[in-house]
């Protein structure tokens, strides 16, 4: 678990720990939680911005004088932590949708836990839900998903067979898995790829197989990345094409990474980025009649040549 996750868990445990005591030395708290006193002081100052509102009695508070001068912790105004949790209908619906999304990626023993929480929430929200909300993700192999989840938990290295759609390429890789997560309607495995010697994200619906190698997954030092970061990154050398889009092709701007360049002649001009030129050519062909290639000329020529070859096949 990363440092932020550890801090959240520690802070959640700090409040009930301190509520059961009166005037605890910072050194004792630090020893109890296995961190340095400075970390406890940082946690306490962050907890002071936590609560159920913004006024006195709604925020956790500490005696800063005792903390700064005597290194002793006195907690105040945290009684609301013992009150039963009350959710508004909007908060309840948001949690239901989040749990339904989580359920689509769950396997094994996780399912009954999520189903139990869902049943309680749906019962509490009841008729206040205007319409049911369903979560749909791309289909993947449940057995592969379970293998991945088990490998993450047991820290096992995997050998996966993977299809890269942008290059029509099938490859076999050994990876050290880190987590399985959902992003933008797809399930992904975040893993260290031994072939690329870098962190990679693999879509589960593009995995043909996954099996343990019998080796233990290793720790790899790399720059921390936010959720979903690294799925597609635009740089100076990223292949791109400038397109004029008819209204029927405007959806491309929502689905792919583009730069808006204006609206000449009533069309929407964009610079659209892709993994390589062949993928950009295929994208243009799939949307023929709703877009026009402006530049580079080489991609425009490839689109015209392939379209003519396809038409010639029909003529023959």
> SS3 for 268?
strand
- Say whether pLDDT at 130 is over 60: no
Mean pLDDT rounded to a whole number for the chain: 79
pLDDT, one tens digit per residue, over 206-259 is 899 999 999 999 888 765 555 445 555 666 678 899 999 998 898 888 778 888
Q: Give the pLDDT confidence score for residue 244 in this predicted structure.
A: 94
Q: Which of 21-30, 106-115, 169-178 has the highest mean pLDDT?
A: 169-178
CATH node for 142-216? 2.30.30
Q: Give the pLDDT confidence score for residue 69 in this predicted structure.
A: 79
Q: Give the pLDDT confidence score for residue 174 in this predicted structure.
A: 94
Provide mean pLDDT across the span 153-171: 82
- Alpha carbon 224 to its chain's center: 13
Phi/psi-derived region of residue 197, left when phi > 0, alpha when psi is between -120 and 50, beta in every other case = left
Helices (H), 126-164: 142-154
- Say whether pLDDT at 205 is over 50: yes
Q: What is the DSSP letter of 59?
A: B
Q: Using CA atoms, how far apart are residues 93 and 217, in angstroms rounded to an integer? A: 38
Q: Give the pLDDT confidence score for residue 54 in this predicted structure.
A: 63
Beta strands (DSSP E) in 131-196 are 156-164, 169-183, 186-193
Query: Is 280 within 8 Å of 315 (Cβ atoms)?
Result: no
Q: How much of the chain exceeds pLDDT 70, in percent?
A: 78
pLDDT, one tens digit per residue, over 78-125 is 554 555 556 667 777 777 877 877 777 676 677 788 888 878 777 777
SS3 content of the chain, % helix, strand, coil (to 5): 45, 25, 30
Question: At which residue do the structure tokens 């939680």 appear?
Answer: 33
Paired strand residues for 98: none
Q: Using CA atoms, how far apart are residues 152 and 189, in angstroms rounded to an integer? A: 10
pLDDT, one tens digit per residue, over 262-287 is 888 889 999 998 877 888 998 999 89
Sequence-ordered list of residues with C-beta below 8 angstroms from that of 149, at least 6 positions apart, any chain: 107, 108, 180
The ranges assigned to domains in the chain are 3-82, 89-128, 142-216, 240-315
Domain 3-82 CATH assignment equals 3.40.50: no
Taking residue 155's Cβ as centre, other Cβ atoms within 10 Å add up to 13
Q: Give the pLDDT confidence score for residue 291 in this predicted structure.
A: 93
Phi, psi of 19 (to 5 degrees): -65, -25
pLDDT, one tens digit per residue, over 234-244 is 666 788 999 99
């Amino acid at each position: 678990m990363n440092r932020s996750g550890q801090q959240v868990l520690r802070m959640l445990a700090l409040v009930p720990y301190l509520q059961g005591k009166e005037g605890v030395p910072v050194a004792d708290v630090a020893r109890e939680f296995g961190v340095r006193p400075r970390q406890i002081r940082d946690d306490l100052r962050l907890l002071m911005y936590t609560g159920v509102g913004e006024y006195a009695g709604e925020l956790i508070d500490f005696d800063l004088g005792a903390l700064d001068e005597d290194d002793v912790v006195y907690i105040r105004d945290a009684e609301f932590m013992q009150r039963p949790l009350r959710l508004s209908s909007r908060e309840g619906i948001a949690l239901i949708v989040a749990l339904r999304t989580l359920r689509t990626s769950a396997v094994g023993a996780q399912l009954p836990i999520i189903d139990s929480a869902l049943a309680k929430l749906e019962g509490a929200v009841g008729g206040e839900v205007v319409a049911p909300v369903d979560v749909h993700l791309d289909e993947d192999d449940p057995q592969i998903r379970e293998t991945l989840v088990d490998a993450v938990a047991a820290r096992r290295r995997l050998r996966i067979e993977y299809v890269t759609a942008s290059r029509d390429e099938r490859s076999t890789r050994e990876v050290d898995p880190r987590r399985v997560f959902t992003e933008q309607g797809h399930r992904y495995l975040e893993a260290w790829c031994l072939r690329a010697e870098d962190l990679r994200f693999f879509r589960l619906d593009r995995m043909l197989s996954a099996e343990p190698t019998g080796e233990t997954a290793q720790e790899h030092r790399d720059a921390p990345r936010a959720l979903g970061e690294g799925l597609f990154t635009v740089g100076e050398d990223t292949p791109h094409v400038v397109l004029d889009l008819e209204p029927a092709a405007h959806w491309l701007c929502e689905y792919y990474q583009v730069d808006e360049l204006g609206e000449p002649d009533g069309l929407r001009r964009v610079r659209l980025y892709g993994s390589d030129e062949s993928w950009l050519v295929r994208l243009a062909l799939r949307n023929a009649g709703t877009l026009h290639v402006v530049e580079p000329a080489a991609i425009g020529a490839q689109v015209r040549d392939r379209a003519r070859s396809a038409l010639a096949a029909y003529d023959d």
